[in-house]
Amino acid sequence: MNNAITDCKFEFKGQIDEYNGKVRDVYTLDNGLLVMVASDRISAFDHILPKGIPFKGQVLNQVATMFLKATEDIVPNWLMATPDPSVAVGHACEPIRVEMVIRGYMSGHAAREYKAGKRILCGVPMPEGMKENDKFPTPIITPATKAEEGHDEDISREEIIAQGIVPEEVYIKLEEYTRALFHRGTEMAAERGLILVDTKYEFGMKDGEIILIDEIHTPDSSRYFYADGYEERQQKSEAQKQLSKEFVRQWLIENGFQGLDGQTMPVMPDDFVQVVTDRYVELYEVITGKPFEKSDTSNITERIQNNVDAYIAAL
């Protein structure tokens, strides 16, 4: 197997803070910039799996970069540069503690809730008579509170405003941005023969302005179906061919793990790790229309350190 970035600590010039997320490690510098390292860790059901997925971080970073640049006319974003295949550098913002989840289709979490008999998700009604992977008449926004640890929680628009998580006028703008971004992502996916099923966006504030932060339209934050054959598969109630990490969740479910108390995380065999890598590379090539160029992984930490140091020195 190739090397994977899973657990590494960096020290960059001017570094004043460090945050380790499920997938990304974020370093705050004293000049108001963030260095975001996309690791090869993979998470599901809010748990980090024991093995890393080679090249996953590079795929996420490069796909997110493409979409951030393609949507900067809709909403300003945090990104400034990508000095390394697995690293993004940009402006530090004050995060808004709400994930803006938007769903064009009845899939994933929405489908599981629907099967359990629920017809309202985050205060939004879901029509009767739908089956898994059907298209919603109109995309629905189902926000989640952004938890520091543990599970993010579903929350309604009304609860967000009532609890003062964000002012109403800010939340209305978040919804506008979310719908516009999803529309753009849907158009771009269609050009590549894909359906953007659902996704999430995160925002922050900088100098009183709403800024799009983190990643967008990656296989970690989004679900994609292949458009070719979608209708036929729906008519036959067959599983959709998709590019996302939902298949990793399904593998975990089949192996007795959904992140619930008392469950033991299964360890992915090496052949399945390779399958996951191949899926991430496939998504990159399908969504970008370009061949994936694997970075040098002989010494990943040294490569990242040198590339970021050179970028900071040139500022």
> pLDDT tens-digit profile of 155-191?
999 999 999 999 999 999 999 999 999 999 999 999 9
Residue 293 inside a domain? The answer is no
Tell me the pLDDT of the chain averaged across its residues.
94
Residue 3 inside a domain? The answer is no
What is the mean pLDDT of the segment spanning 113-137? Answer: 97
What is the model's pLDDT at position 150? 54
pLDDT band of residue 149 (cuts 50, 70, 90) is: low
> pLDDT tens-digit profile of 57-73?
999 999 999 999 999 99
Q: How many domains does the chain have?
A: 1
Residue 313 inside a domain? The answer is no
What is the model's pLDDT at position 244? 75
pLDDT band of residue 151 (cuts 50, 70, 90) is: low
Contacts of the segment 296-304: beta carbons below 8 A, 24+ positions apart: 297/2, 297/3, 297/4, 297/54, 297/55, 298/3, 300/3, 300/4, 300/5, 300/8, 300/86, 301/5, 301/8, 301/10, 303/84, 304/5, 304/8, 304/10, 304/37, 304/84, 304/86, 304/87
Residue 114 inside a domain? The answer is yes
What is the model's pLDDT at position 152? 77
Read off the pTM.
Answer: 0.90
Residue 203 inside a domain? The answer is yes
> pLDDT tens-digit profile of 185-215?
999 999 999 999 999 999 999 999 999 999 9
Distance CA 125, CA 167 (A): 23
- Indicate the SS3 state at residue 121: strand
pLDDT at 246 over 90: no
User: In this structure, what CATH number is given to the domain that contains residue 140?
Assistant: 3.30.470.20
Residue 97 identity (one-letter amino acid): R
Distance CA 229, CA 233 (A): 6
Residue 305 inside a domain? The answer is no
Residue 76 inside a domain? The answer is no
Residue 17 inside a domain? The answer is no
Hey, what are 272's tokens?
A: 């399945």
> pLDDT tens-digit profile of 97-119?
999 999 999 999 999 999 999 99
Range of the structural domain that residue 166 is part of = 94-243
